[in-house]
Structure 1
């Protein structure tokens, strides 16, 4: 079994403390559009989208980390901004209940030693590390204040998690006072990293569409398939980042989001400590009105695989699940899906295959999802279906030793 498949002994876990020495961080304001790389491994992520307009507001954003570790850092994104974004206060702590945090866990974030940071339009910034340890699977609360934000805001629309906002809320406080509104999106935060405790610690990114984003799973329960994969990997110290965007395609942009290939650098290759990517896309290409051919979709897979291999990553390709019963299903799209899946199963360019089609299809009607794994719309799996997707990933395929 690979190093990623072996369990490690869990060490004593400390909550976010101020003991220890921070390490130097990169410049806080890189040029717009620059690739911004962190350190350690990515333990949580959400792909950047436009989520509305900026405002004078505080945000308390709730995320669940996958791998635990020390020296927690966060990445703020202004990818869709048309002007610089100033964050004049930022803190990270552990959620207790609602907007309230565990007493004494909330710690200030700095950027190049400063409490405030300006993120250039189109850019992103990593914070300095917070010394101390954060537990695997912890619910982290990242609190930000954007006093003069205007124009397009960057975040992730479908968080499936309740976060909190307020006009005058104190980002540095532990209590819920001032956090008067809720939001179902994440704002400006797009990644969290830690320094892993396990010597073989690394990370895997799930690059996908609405199925990876969690549509069909129970909100507030962290039942997306990357969450289930993170639970399978928890004992190994491997981080899991979710790079799913609803409606995403392999070949072309859709709904304002770039294609999988166009966002590969931002959402996968720039994340710290990544060793593998699971590519689970294609259904939106083949069911579109101008549906792509199997050859075109597989060519897109191969281009992504080539670039990921050049960066030293293992690539796990996933077969496309059935979706008969969805409005856009037709026999032509079904034939393309089967052709794509045959090529994925037999393509020697991939390091491993996650046969999601086999895991989810109804054996009595293989053009449909199994009824007990279907959320009801015949395209998106329910919580049990999400577990089945995660279970289709052979953990040995995540460590191909490139």
Structure 2
């Protein structure tokens, strides 16, 4: 009996084990796997491309840019938009800056292009690198190093970077030391955008479409004190979906006519609408159209704003327009130009608020209470048109983060 009873107990235990395992399997089958985290590509830095001089063969560039939003899957866009011959880039790396031209140890990684270590960008084109599987923090100095083995002809980049970058003769892009990077440049060469993958599914960016004020002239070089930089710092703590900032300002730029850079109407698609994750376009341009004395009227400028807005809205994005700031004391100022500026601003403060998704009154922020046609001296960079660091910070402080995202 004892032997038979023992065998029965062992059989019963085995059956219970099978049932338990089947039940556990059923529970696992019934429990859905957690979905993979969704990511959103969003621009973290940008600078509008333009002609920056002539290309140089055998030249290395170590370019310093400031990220606005952090993420993984870093990609860099390289531009030959104004080139007249194909541009080959070789030995392209991305790392984080330690100091000067030196990089943080272990941070410098090679970028690839469809798996290759070099890329040839056709004349008039741009191309993205493959994603780099590493985390990039917000507010960091990202360094892109590249080498141009046989470059020639017009070079594309951003002339007025307000940032010191570095150059070297020969191929030194893989080095983390700054020893061989003894030359300097205050332009960004061959790059116009950096994007990351944010873990926030709703993450987005704002693109500031503007002129030299947005470009940062009269702010302090190397300290990232352009008004879009101050805005990026505000957005990191604002808790809003819009976190990335793309600075698409070009010194001397106009809304309506080409000149120092293509007009805003002509560069909108390449510089703004092609940027990953852009949710809102912040339009702050017009003073160069007005002070050029080409006969541009308030109606002409408003028509340009409306055309830009129509195209942006057609892509499902928001538009915030800023009033035109004061510039009395600048050599091109006269009462006729001032009258046009005042008429444009009256429109924006009035019926313009119904046509655009938001209006930000930069004129009210910058003007003197004693002479509303002039910059407040405390905010004046010295030429009566461009704000200083304090003025740049005041502009960013006037932007309502909640208005940078609309129901579109």
In the superposition, the TM-score normalised over structure 1's length comes to 0.89
Please say if residues 319 and 356 of structure 1, whose CA atoms lie closer than 8 Å, have aligned partners that are also in contact.
Answer: yes
Q: Please list the CA deviations of residues 24-78 of structure 1 after superposition, one character each: whole Å capped at 9, or x if unmatched.
A: xxxxxxxxxxxxxxx7000000000111111120100000010001101000000
Shift of 1:391: 1.3
Q: Please list the CA deviations of residues 228-255 of structure 1 after superposition, one character each: whole Å capped at 9, or x if unmatched.
A: 1000111346100000000000110013
Give the counterpart of 1:159 among 161, 165, 186: 161
Where do 1:61-210 residues align within 5 Å? Answer: 61-210=63-212
Q: Secondary structure at the match of 1:200?
A: coil
- Rounded to whole Å, the distance in 2 between the matches of 1:218 and 1:282 is 24
Give the counterpart of 2:379 among 373, 379, 395: 373
Give the counterpart of 1:243 among 248, 253, 267: 248
Bigger proportion of residues as helix:
2
Residue matched to 1:47: 48
Q: Please list the CA deviations of residues 271-312 of structure 1 after superposition, one character each: whole Å capped at 9, or x if unmatched.
A: 000000100000000100214100000000000000000011
- Rounded to whole Å, the distance in 1 between the matches of 2:319 and 2:400 is 12
Residue matched to 2:35: none
Q: Secondary structure at the match of 1:400?
A: coil
Residue matched to 1:34: none
- Rounded to whole Å, the distance in 1 between the matches of 2:382 and 2:90 is 44
- Rounded to whole Å, the distance in 2 between the matches of 1:102 and 1:74 is 19
* CA RMSD, Structure 1 to Structure 2 (Å): 0.9
- Rounded to whole Å, the distance in 1 between the matches of 2:171 and 2:368 is 50
**How many residues get paired?**
363
- Rounded to whole Å, the distance in 2 between the matches of 1:261 and 1:191 is 19
- Rounded to whole Å, the distance in 1 between the matches of 2:93 and 2:407 is 37
Q: Does 1:356 align with 2:358?
A: no
- Rounded to whole Å, the distance in 1 between the matches of 2:68 and 2:385 is 27
In the superposition, the TM-score normalised over structure 2's length comes to 0.88
Structure number with bigger Rg? 2
- Rounded to whole Å, the distance in 1 between the matches of 2:382 and 2:113 is 45
Residue matched to 1:331: 335
Give the counterpart of 2:388 among 365, 373, 382: 382
Q: Please list the CA deviations of residues 204-229 of structure 1 after superposition, one character each: whole Å capped at 9, or x if unmatched.
A: 00000000000010111100000010
Please say if residues 96 and 140 of structure 2, whose CA atoms lie closer than 8 Å, have aligned partners that are also in contact.
Answer: yes
Question: What are the ranges of 5 or more consecutive residues in structure 2 without an aligned counterpart?
Answer: 1-39
Please say if residues 291 and 333 of structure 1, whose CA atoms lie closer than 8 Å, have aligned partners that are also in contact.
Answer: no
Question: What are the ranges of 5 or more consecutive residues in structure 1 without an aligned counterpart?
Answer: 1-38
Shift of 1:197: 2.6
- Rounded to whole Å, the distance in 1 between the matches of 2:199 and 2:281 is 21
Residue matched to 1:289: 293
Please say if residues 121 and 127 of structure 2, whose CA atoms lie closer than 8 Å, have aligned partners that are also in contact.
Answer: yes
Residue matched to 1:392: 398
Shift of 1:169: 4.3
